[in-house]
Amino acid sequence: MLLGNLSSSVQTVLTRLLRAAPELAVVGNAASADELPTLARRLRPGVVVVTEDQLSGLERLQQQFPVPVLLYSARAPLPGMLREAARLGVYDYITPAPTAAAELIEWGRQLRRKLLAVRPRPLQMGPPKILVPRVRVMPLPPQGIVVIGGSTGGAPATEVLLRTLPVDFPWAVVVAVHLPVHFTDTLVERLRRASQLPVAAAGSGSRLEAGRVLVAPGGRNLLVQPVTGSPWLGWETEFTSEASLDVPSVDLLMQSAARLAGRNVVGVVLTGLGHDGTLGAQAIRRAGGTVIVQDEASSAVFAMPKSVIQAGLATEVQPLASMAAVLTRYVPTRSGGSASRSFSRPQAVTAQ
């Protein structure tokens, strides 16, 4: 464990408590935010404990040595700070140790539990048993959500789109294609083969992670919602009993994403029958997000994209082959480079 610029009294309390946990140890102290990345690369801690005035150094820390961070705060952080800190790798916080003996014991237990939850775990490398330390990297919460929706022709179109997304794509991706239940596994496997990103079927409580693709199962409607039972910013998927004409509903999924992430949502409407996705596109644009629509020439069935275009909700209309490149223009990079995002009011695009 690497400690930040904690007071000497706090460091003494932490060190004393950790003596009772032989699997935990303090490997060093970083007196400033600038020292965090340097010491972390050299000492390779499994967790870093910092104070609020070192939060400014966490972005560079996560770029140079991704590691879970525990925030030491004089009081429970405000929700706004929690949201920002979670994006920088802070997974939990601790408050000052109480003075009463009984409360101090419980405080120590909670601290140990939080540290053990993310400590490096040994790997067994075969006989003779050799223990190799491994740093466990906590996935950072995504800063935005991409919702891809389609129907007829949507599965192969999604393959094409995901194939060229970069491996370091920084937002979460959720896919809803109108398919029967028994086709879900097939679609997930097809997307896994096509994409550099990890792909999984979404379930109840599936966490949204940066650079991970979740696929809405056939036959059920899916929403994204805040992670329950945690003060930290995070999103997860959940099934809903809300009915819709098309299942899984692109509208319901996009609307839930827009409520959560606001302008940090990009909706992608691919080929398909009907007009599912139009109400979702409306919610995204009203929240300040972006809607990219497949053009007629590359669509197997143009009804879904055409409906969005005729409603004046398309930010851009693009051929399928160009959509991944366009999508990455609207999603900020991990390095903080500004993407050429357009969050203007909905612009009317003439349907072909």
How far, in Å, CA of 45 to CA of 32, rounded?
Answer: 16
298 is catalytic: no
Omega before 133 cis (within 30°)? no
Catalytic, out of 275, 276, 295, 307 = 276
Question: Residues 86-99, buried b or exposed e (16+ Cβ, 10 A)?
Answer: bbbbbbbbbeebee
275 is catalytic: no
CA 98 vs CA 1, 74, 181, 296, 349: distances in Å: 22, 11, 53, 65, 62
151 is catalytic: yes
Catalytic, out of 92, 151, 206, 275 = 151
Catalytic, out of 92, 178, 246, 275 = 178
* Alpha-carbon torsion angle 239, 244, 249, 255, nearest 10: -80
Catalytic residues: 151, 178, 276
